């Protein structure tokens, strides 16, 4: 398995509180991604990074921010959690500018906002 660790694996938080999820990789891959998985929607891209301090929005970025200060760490922050952000969050990594390589996924973080 690719060296990707997501933390925490499970979290319950209250509406309106900030939450930070962490993705740590040991593969030195350039690209890192945050997805959310919801029934009927498959995987939707929240934000991604193509290098240290280089990030961009995905299709469902509202209410989320990210930071990447080191190659190995990609943080996802829910600025003020809402019930609609209850989901399973996956981090993924990939290498190659040419797009030839696949993405490797972490084990996921199950977030419940009450």
77 near 20, Cβ under 8 Å? yes
62 near 47, Cβ under 8 Å? no
- Candidate segments 14-22, 62-70, 72-80, 91-99, binder of another protein by CB under 8 A: 91-99
> How many alpha carbons lie under 13 Å from residue 87 in its C-beta half-sphere?
23
Q: Is 58 in the site for another protein (CB under 8 A)?
A: yes
If the CB atoms of residues 83 and 98 are measured against another protein, the closer one turns out to be 98
With vertex at residue 113, the alpha carbon angle to CA 109 and CA 85, rounded to the nearest 5 degrees, is 70
Q: Is 34 in the site for another protein (CB under 8 A)?
A: no
The three-class DSSP label of residue 83 is helix
Nearest distance in Å: CB 40, another protein: 7
Q: Is 79 in the site for another protein (CB under 8 A)?
A: no
Residue 77: how many CB atoms within 10 A of its CB? 16
Q: Is 107 in the site for another protein (CB under 8 A)?
A: yes
Residues at the interface with another protein (CB under 8 A): 31, 33, 35, 40-45, 48, 50, 56, 58, 90, 92, 94, 97-100, 102-108
């Amino acid at each position: 398995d690719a060296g990707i660790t997501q933390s925490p694996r499970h979290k319950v938080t209250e509406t309106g509180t900030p939450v930070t999820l962490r993705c740590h990789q040991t593969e030195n891959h350039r690209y890192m991604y945050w997805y959310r998985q919801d029934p009927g929607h498959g995987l939707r891209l929240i934000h991604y990074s193509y290098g240290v301090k280089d990030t961009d929005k995905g299709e469902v970025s509202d209410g989320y921010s990210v930071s990447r200060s080191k190659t190995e760490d990609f943080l996802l922050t829910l600025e003020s959690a809402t019930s609609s952000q209850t989901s399973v969050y996956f981090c993924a990594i990939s290498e190659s500018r040419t797009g030839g390589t696949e993405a490797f996924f972490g084990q996921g973080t199950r977030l419940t906002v009450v």
